Amino acid sequence: MIGTEFVPLSLPPLLIGTLAALACALPGNFLVLRRQALIGDAISHVVLPGIVVAFLLTGRVSTWPMMLGAGGAALLAVLMIEVIRRAGKIEPGAAMGVVFTTLFAAGVLLLEQSDTSAVHLDVQHALYGNLESLIWLDALGWNSLLDPVALAGLPTELPRMALVLVGVIGFIWLFWRPLALSTFDEGFARSLGIATGPLGLGLVVIAAMAAVAAFDAVGSIIVIAMFICPPAAARLMTNRLSLQVAWSQGFAGLAAVSGYVLAGYGPLWLGYAHAVSAAGMIATVSGLILALAALFGPCRARLGQPAG
């Protein structure tokens, strides 16, 4: 591929998409095993009121206030889910449903009531993000990767997504053992003195962080797909947690890269003039991987039903 075209136009979105996929799939492993996978979906929607409030407060579209607003809304949602679940003694799924619809509705109402019509806050953006628009105009070719002046012009999404991925990896690495233990056998974990409540909350907050950052860069469709598809497919490939996580990262990277390439060139190969949405294609590929794993994965047989 020619560097003068690839580096400014394709490299940044490719990297950002891959980082986002990895950052979501990693905590997704534990969320899927804890049957909390839809929390990523919920989070990526409840951030809407946060983004609108941030816009209303600052009066302009700028990334950091919106990220903060989105993060605040995600945290609020997590806390509301926990409070409702404990106070109402209802199952997590139902609590999530309540919070999810309430906050999303609040976001839509806010959006309608306020004068944000001039701003680019639409469904299209929320679903698919703007992966293709994350280009690096300062780059002239591969050499630009070593040029500090050009590097300063990188899309801010790239370092931010990388930072979030580092945070996610750090959390999972540090708390790997208690996370695995409390996911498998919470009663035993608590008898060892592990604070399973704060730990589970930490996991959800980390997942929310990844979801919000990815949502901003690549849209909610990737967030939902990456929280669920690579971990679920990886579970069908192995019976060991560490290998499952490794597989899930491989699948996430594969989906991001091949999805991006297919979206850009696939239609051309088929004789169509226009590329399709990269985010949509990445999500589609991850779904395809899950389907293949479900058909051919070596660990499909689930014998683990409680025998008692």
Does residue 306 interact with other proteins by CB under 8 A?
A: yes
Burial call 95-108: b when 16+ CB within 10 Å, e when fewer: bbbebbeebbebbe
Q: What is the 3-state secondary structure (H, E, C) of 282-296?
A: HHHHHHHHHHHHHHH
Q: Does 191 bind other proteins (CB under 8 A)?
A: yes
Please report, for residues 27, 53, 63, 118, 126, the alpha-carbon distance to residue 60 in angstroms, rounded to integers and kept in the order given: 32, 11, 10, 11, 17
Place of tokens 């703007």: 130
Assess 235 for contact with other proteins (CB under 8 A).
yes
Give whichever of 67 and 233 is closer to other proteins, judged by the CB atom: 233
300 binds other proteins (CB under 8 A): no
- Residues 122-161, interacting with other proteins (CB under 8 A): none
Burial of 178 (0-12, 13-18, 19+ CB in 10 A): middle
Total residues binding other proteins (CB under 8 A): 34
87 near other proteins, rule: CB under 8 A: no
Identified binder of other proteins from the candidate list 135, 145, 180, 246, rule CB under 8 A: 180
What's the rounded Cα separation, in Å, for the pair 165 and 27? Answer: 10
- Window contacting other proteins (CB under 8 A); options: 51-59, 109-117, 145-153, 177-185: 177-185
Residue 303: exposed, middle, or buried by beta-carbon count in 10 A (0-12, 13-18, 19+)?
A: exposed
Q: Does 302 bind other proteins (CB under 8 A)?
A: yes
Pick from 143, 239, 292, 296 the residue near other proteins by CB under 8 A.
239
Q: Which of 214, 241, 262, 282 binds other proteins (CB under 8 A)?
A: 241
Instruction: State in angstroms the smallest separation of the CB of 302 from other proteins.
Output: 6
Minimum distance from CB of 29 to other proteins (Å)? Answer: 9
Q: Measured in whole angstroms, how far is the alpha carbon of residue 145 from the centre of its chain?
A: 26
Q: Taking CB under 8 A as the rule, does residue 187 contact other proteins?
A: yes
CB atoms within 10 A of CB 137: 10
54 burial (CB, 10 Å; 0-12 / 13-18 / 19+) is: buried
Complex with other proteins: residue 109 or 174, whichever CB lies closer? 174
Nearer residue to other proteins within complex by CB, 26 or 70? 26
Which of these segments, 75-83, 181-189, 222-230, 268-276, binds other proteins (CB under 8 A)? 181-189
Cβ count near 289 (within 10 Å): 21
**Of positions 60, 89, 120, 274, contacts other proteins by CB under 8 A:** 89
Q: Using the rule CB under 8 A, which residue among 64, 142, 184, 296 binds other proteins?
A: 184
Q: What φ, ψ does residue 238 adopt, rounded to 5°?
A: -155, 160
Region of residue 129 (phi > 0: left; psi between -120 and 50: alpha; otherwise: beta): left
The nearer residue to other proteins, 241 or 281, going by C-beta atoms, is 241
> How many residues belong to the chain?
308
**204 near other proteins (CB under 8 A):** no
Residue with tokens 């139902």: 94
Q: Which of 91, 105, 113, 177 binds other proteins (CB under 8 A)?
A: 177
Chain residues that interact with other proteins, rule: CB under 8 A: 33, 89, 174-175, 177-178, 180-181, 183-188, 190-194, 235, 238-241, 243-244, 299, 302-308
